[in-house]
Amino acid sequence: MLKNMKIRSCALAIIACSANSAMAADSVDVHVIGTITPAACTPTLSGGGNVDYGTIQANTLSKTDYTVLAEKTLDMSITCDAPVKVAVKAINGRPNSAAGSTEGAAGFGVSPVSLGSKGAAHVAGLGLDGTTKVGGYNIAFATSGNTLDGASAGTLISDDNGTSWAQGTDAMNDSAVRYISWGNEGSNDVKAFTTMNGKLLVQGYINKASELDLSKPVALDGLTTIEIVYL
Protein backbone atom coordinates (compact mmCIF):
# COMPACT_ATOMS: atom_id res chain seq x y z
CA MET A 1 0.00 0.00 0.00
CA LEU A 2 2.79 2.38 0.92
CA LYS A 3 4.52 1.49 -2.32
CA ASN A 4 1.43 2.33 -4.28
CA MET A 5 1.07 5.61 -2.45
CA LYS A 6 4.63 6.55 -3.28
CA ILE A 7 4.10 5.73 -6.92
CA ARG A 8 0.91 7.79 -7.01
CA SER A 9 2.59 10.69 -5.22
CA CYS A 10 5.47 10.73 -7.66
CA ALA A 11 3.10 10.51 -10.61
CA LEU A 12 1.13 13.47 -9.34
CA ALA A 13 4.31 15.45 -8.88
CA ILE A 14 5.31 14.77 -12.48
CA ILE A 15 1.87 15.77 -13.76
CA ALA A 16 2.00 19.02 -11.75
CA CYS A 17 5.42 19.90 -13.14
CA SER A 18 4.22 19.25 -16.66
CA ALA A 19 1.21 21.52 -16.14
CA ASN A 20 3.37 24.37 -14.84
CA SER A 21 5.63 24.08 -17.87
CA ALA A 22 2.66 24.30 -20.20
CA MET A 23 1.30 27.38 -18.40
CA ALA A 24 4.67 29.19 -18.62
CA ALA A 25 4.61 28.86 -22.42
CA ASP A 26 1.05 30.21 -22.83
CA SER A 27 2.13 33.83 -23.57
CA VAL A 28 5.02 35.88 -24.87
CA ASP A 29 5.54 39.66 -24.84
CA VAL A 30 5.96 41.83 -27.91
CA HIS A 31 8.04 44.97 -27.31
CA VAL A 32 7.70 47.74 -29.90
CA ILE A 33 10.74 50.02 -29.58
CA GLY A 34 12.59 52.67 -31.55
CA THR A 35 13.80 56.25 -31.38
CA ILE A 36 12.48 59.30 -33.19
CA THR A 37 15.35 61.68 -33.91
CA PRO A 38 15.10 65.16 -35.43
CA ALA A 39 17.07 66.05 -38.51
CA ALA A 40 20.53 67.28 -37.62
CA CYS A 41 22.20 70.21 -39.40
CA THR A 42 25.81 71.34 -39.52
CA PRO A 43 26.89 74.91 -40.39
CA THR A 44 30.23 75.57 -42.08
CA LEU A 45 32.11 78.81 -42.78
CA SER A 46 34.96 79.26 -45.22
CA GLY A 47 38.38 80.00 -43.77
CA GLY A 48 37.34 78.53 -40.46
CA GLY A 49 35.14 81.59 -39.89
CA ASN A 50 38.14 83.94 -39.67
CA VAL A 51 37.79 87.48 -41.03
CA ASP A 52 41.33 88.83 -41.12
CA TYR A 53 41.99 92.53 -41.57
CA GLY A 54 45.72 91.93 -41.37
CA THR A 55 47.96 94.80 -40.33
CA ILE A 56 46.32 98.23 -40.22
CA GLN A 57 48.77 101.13 -40.15
CA ALA A 58 48.04 103.49 -37.26
CA ASN A 59 48.60 106.56 -39.45
CA THR A 60 45.67 105.54 -41.68
CA LEU A 61 43.18 105.94 -38.82
CA SER A 62 41.20 109.14 -38.37
CA LYS A 63 41.99 110.92 -35.12
CA THR A 64 38.54 112.50 -34.84
CA ASP A 65 36.22 110.01 -36.54
CA TYR A 66 35.61 106.29 -36.87
CA THR A 67 37.52 104.52 -39.65
CA VAL A 68 35.39 102.19 -41.76
CA LEU A 69 37.14 99.03 -42.96
CA ALA A 70 36.57 97.09 -46.17
CA GLU A 71 33.71 94.63 -46.42
CA LYS A 72 34.81 91.00 -46.23
CA THR A 73 32.97 87.91 -47.49
CA LEU A 74 32.66 84.42 -46.01
CA ASP A 75 31.01 81.47 -47.73
CA MET A 76 28.48 79.74 -45.50
CA SER A 77 26.76 76.41 -45.91
CA ILE A 78 24.29 74.43 -43.81
CA THR A 79 23.98 70.70 -44.45
CA CYS A 80 21.15 68.64 -42.93
CA ASP A 81 20.61 64.88 -43.00
CA ALA A 82 16.93 65.34 -43.99
CA PRO A 83 14.79 68.24 -45.27
CA VAL A 84 14.02 70.54 -42.33
CA LYS A 85 13.14 74.16 -41.62
CA VAL A 86 15.92 75.85 -39.69
CA ALA A 87 17.13 79.35 -38.91
CA VAL A 88 20.33 80.77 -37.50
CA LYS A 89 20.88 83.39 -34.85
CA ALA A 90 23.94 85.47 -33.99
CA ILE A 91 25.30 85.56 -30.43
CA ASN A 92 27.70 88.34 -29.43
CA GLY A 93 30.85 86.89 -27.90
CA ARG A 94 32.32 90.27 -26.96
CA PRO A 95 29.48 92.05 -25.15
CA ASN A 96 29.72 95.73 -24.22
CA SER A 97 32.68 96.40 -26.50
CA ALA A 98 31.18 98.10 -29.59
CA ALA A 99 32.82 101.53 -29.92
CA GLY A 100 30.40 104.46 -29.99
CA SER A 101 27.42 102.21 -29.45
CA THR A 102 25.23 101.02 -26.59
CA GLU A 103 24.10 97.42 -26.90
CA GLY A 104 20.42 96.59 -26.52
CA ALA A 105 18.64 93.63 -24.94
CA ALA A 106 19.54 91.32 -27.83
CA GLY A 107 23.27 91.97 -27.35
CA PHE A 108 23.98 94.23 -30.33
CA GLY A 109 24.12 97.99 -30.82
CA VAL A 110 23.83 100.42 -33.71
CA SER A 111 26.96 101.66 -35.47
CA PRO A 112 27.96 105.30 -34.92
CA VAL A 113 29.08 105.51 -38.55
CA SER A 114 27.60 104.48 -41.88
CA LEU A 115 28.81 101.07 -43.02
CA GLY A 116 28.63 101.26 -46.79
CA SER A 117 25.23 100.73 -48.37
CA LYS A 118 23.87 99.43 -45.05
CA GLY A 119 24.07 102.85 -43.43
CA ALA A 120 23.88 102.75 -39.63
CA ALA A 121 23.82 99.01 -39.03
CA HIS A 122 23.60 96.71 -36.04
CA VAL A 123 27.02 95.87 -34.66
CA ALA A 124 29.02 93.82 -32.19
CA GLY A 125 32.31 94.93 -30.66
CA LEU A 126 35.91 94.21 -31.57
CA GLY A 127 36.91 93.64 -27.96
CA LEU A 128 38.73 95.92 -25.53
CA ASP A 129 42.24 97.33 -25.38
CA GLY A 130 42.46 97.67 -21.61
CA THR A 131 39.19 99.48 -20.98
CA THR A 132 38.95 101.15 -24.40
CA LYS A 133 36.58 99.86 -27.06
CA VAL A 134 38.54 99.03 -30.20
CA GLY A 135 35.73 99.19 -32.76
CA GLY A 136 32.82 97.20 -34.06
CA TYR A 137 31.48 95.21 -37.03
CA ASN A 138 28.27 94.17 -38.73
CA ILE A 139 27.33 90.76 -40.12
CA ALA A 140 24.72 90.47 -42.86
CA PHE A 141 23.74 87.90 -45.46
CA ALA A 142 24.18 88.69 -49.14
CA THR A 143 20.98 89.68 -50.94
CA SER A 144 21.76 87.37 -53.85
CA GLY A 145 23.60 84.13 -54.46
CA ASN A 146 21.80 82.13 -51.76
CA THR A 147 20.54 78.67 -52.73
CA LEU A 148 18.43 75.94 -51.15
CA ASP A 149 19.17 72.52 -52.60
CA GLY A 150 20.56 74.23 -55.68
CA ALA A 151 17.62 76.59 -56.29
CA SER A 152 17.82 80.38 -55.80
CA ALA A 153 16.54 81.49 -52.40
CA GLY A 154 15.67 84.69 -50.59
CA THR A 155 16.80 85.62 -47.08
CA LEU A 156 14.20 86.12 -44.34
CA ILE A 157 14.36 87.65 -40.86
CA SER A 158 12.20 87.22 -37.77
CA ASP A 159 12.38 89.22 -34.55
CA ASP A 160 9.62 87.27 -32.76
CA ASN A 161 11.17 83.79 -32.47
CA GLY A 162 9.96 82.65 -35.88
CA THR A 163 6.28 83.60 -35.53
CA SER A 164 6.39 85.99 -38.49
CA TRP A 165 8.92 86.52 -41.25
CA ALA A 166 9.93 89.35 -43.59
CA GLN A 167 12.59 89.79 -46.23
CA GLY A 168 15.86 91.12 -44.83
CA THR A 169 19.56 90.37 -44.52
CA ASP A 170 20.99 91.89 -41.30
CA ALA A 171 22.00 89.05 -38.98
CA MET A 172 22.11 91.33 -35.91
CA ASN A 173 19.51 93.28 -33.97
CA ASP A 174 19.57 95.40 -30.84
CA SER A 175 16.08 95.09 -29.34
CA ALA A 176 15.11 91.44 -29.98
CA VAL A 177 16.90 88.22 -30.90
CA ARG A 178 16.91 87.93 -34.68
CA TYR A 179 16.43 84.70 -36.60
CA ILE A 180 17.66 84.38 -40.20
CA SER A 181 16.19 81.76 -42.53
CA TRP A 182 15.51 81.18 -46.21
CA GLY A 183 12.63 80.59 -48.59
CA ASN A 184 11.75 80.88 -52.25
CA GLU A 185 12.68 84.23 -53.78
CA GLY A 186 9.92 86.79 -53.20
CA SER A 187 8.21 84.65 -50.54
CA ASN A 188 7.99 85.26 -46.79
CA ASP A 189 7.57 81.56 -46.04
CA VAL A 190 10.47 79.56 -44.63
CA LYS A 191 11.30 76.49 -46.70
CA ALA A 192 12.69 73.13 -45.60
CA PHE A 193 16.01 72.10 -47.14
CA THR A 194 18.89 69.71 -46.87
CA THR A 195 21.60 72.08 -48.14
CA MET A 196 21.86 75.89 -47.99
CA ASN A 197 24.67 77.84 -49.57
CA GLY A 198 25.10 81.58 -49.11
CA LYS A 199 27.49 84.37 -48.24
CA LEU A 200 28.10 86.35 -45.06
CA LEU A 201 29.16 89.97 -45.44
CA VAL A 202 31.28 91.32 -42.58
CA GLN A 203 32.26 94.97 -42.27
CA GLY A 204 34.17 96.54 -39.40
CA TYR A 205 35.11 99.97 -38.16
CA ILE A 206 37.82 101.24 -35.82
CA ASN A 207 37.42 103.68 -32.95
CA LYS A 208 38.83 107.20 -33.22
CA ALA A 209 42.62 107.17 -33.09
CA SER A 210 42.47 109.75 -30.31
CA GLU A 211 40.70 107.17 -28.15
CA LEU A 212 43.29 104.42 -28.68
CA ASP A 213 46.80 103.93 -27.31
CA LEU A 214 48.64 103.61 -30.63
CA SER A 215 52.08 103.54 -29.03
CA LYS A 216 51.68 99.75 -29.06
CA PRO A 217 49.86 97.17 -31.22
CA VAL A 218 46.07 97.07 -30.72
CA ALA A 219 44.35 93.77 -31.50
CA LEU A 220 40.97 93.37 -33.20
CA ASP A 221 39.19 90.62 -31.31
CA GLY A 222 35.60 90.24 -32.49
CA LEU A 223 33.66 87.03 -31.87
CA THR A 224 30.14 86.13 -32.97
CA THR A 225 28.67 82.63 -32.75
CA ILE A 226 26.24 81.56 -35.50
CA GLU A 227 23.85 79.06 -33.93
CA ILE A 228 21.34 76.74 -35.62
CA VAL A 229 17.70 77.04 -34.52
CA TYR A 230 15.29 74.23 -35.46
CA LEU A 231 11.87 75.63 -36.35
Domain ranges of the chain: 41-230
Residue pair 200/141 in contact by the 8 Å Cβ criterion:
yes
- Dihedral in degrees, nearest 10, Cα atoms 143, 147, 151, 157: -60
d(CA 143, CA 147): 11
Centre a 10 Å sphere on the Cβ of residue 216 and count the other Cβ atoms it contains: 8
Residue pair 81/192 in contact by the 8 Å Cβ criterion:
no
For residue range 14-48, list pLDDT tens digits in order.
Answer: 444 445 555 556 888 898 988 888 889 999 999 99
Q: The whole model's pTM is what?
A: 0.84
SS3 54: coil
For residue range 151-203, list pLDDT tens digits in order.
Answer: 999 999 999 999 999 999 999 999 999 999 999 999 999 999 999 999 999 99
SS3 11: helix
